Amino acid sequence: MRSDTSELVRLRLQEALADTNGRGSTHVKLDVEFVGAIMTLLEQRKEEYDDMKRRLDGMKRTSQQYMDGLTVAQTEYDRELKARRDAEAEVTRLRVLLSGQAVRLTAISGETRRQEAQKLHSQELSQSLSSLERDLAKLQVERDMTLAEVEELSASKRTVNRLIPVIVEKCIDAVDVLALDYEGIYRKTGGSGQSKTITQLFERGDYASFDLRDNDRFNDICSVTSVLKTYFRSLPDPLLTYALHEQFIAASTMKDPAMKSSALTELVAELPREHYHTTRALMLHLHRIYERSDRNLMHARNLGVVFGPTLMRSRDPNAEFTDMAGKALTVEWLVENAPTVFEQFDALDIS
């Protein structure tokens, strides 16, 4: 309709110009109604231009948020990859050192010289192992702690039926009390010293002896969030499970919002009991952070980028990068819709 109006105005202007040229006049005569039509058309064009500009600005903002999220994810991935490679390189170096020492011991003759060589060898080996222990202690303690937590959740013979690991409850509680407004919460990494201290406290199992809300003792809330993320990354079976990984990825890319919501909700209901209740606690917590994103700058998309690789993994290592967007979208949706999803299940008494 608007294109027809534009064509009509153009033809009328051509006719008016031809008439003016025919009369030899320097002034074009236009009636008031035609001038009004021209003004209306110009206003329509201006409205269309303003609307398209608003849409373009919105697309630019969305694109920038997504690029920021991908940058955070790439940084997390690079850091993890570097840590693994450094550990592998150190283990290889120690193996070479041990091989060289074995050759030296074989070549030594005489009991006295052999004992001396063994003593020297032990000293060198002790120094090398101490260096390796400093590099790998955090990962070893975290893995031991994780296995202990998993055993606690899975053992049917226990009298206490714990559905959410203590480490998850205490870390979430500390962030809820101290850091919902903290800028960049969960995106920033805490100090390694305090993170290691917190990890060892959990590993000992005396949970009543410390309170992560104690600012005098634990003055780096990012160390608390780093411990929580490391715990989830170390689970033998990811929180959203290997078994449901491909289905979560497929559901996250659905275009129809209703179908996507239905598919993701059904998948949450299929999680094992302990995984479901832990997911419920974490997502409701992350939703509270998302509600304060105007202060902490952690929107649902940012939280999805940070926690996607932490809560979801494929059994195929080659799929880790290709699934990155799907993992982020899955967690983003869960963060945004956590109250609706889990209140619905609470009403049905899913446990």
pLDDT of residue 288: 97
Would residue 3 be called left, alpha or beta, if left means φ above 0 and alpha means ψ between -120 and 50 degrees? alpha
CA distance 184 to 253: 27
Contacts 24+ apart (CB under 8 A), 266-270: 268/334, 268/341, 268/345, 269/345, 269/350, 270/244
CATH level 3 topology of 235-351 = Phosphatidylinositol 3-kinase; Chain A (1.10.555)
Residues of the chain with pLDDT under 50: 137-138, 140-141, 144, 147-148, 150-160
CA distance 60 to 192: 37
pLDDT of residue 1: 56
pLDDT tens-digit map of 103-162:
776 665 566 677 776 777 777 776 666 556 555 544 544 554 554 454 444 443 343 468
CA distance 281 to 48: 46
Sheet strands (E) in 200-260: none
CA distance 290 to 150: 28
pLDDT of residue 32: 78
pTM for the model stands at: 0.57
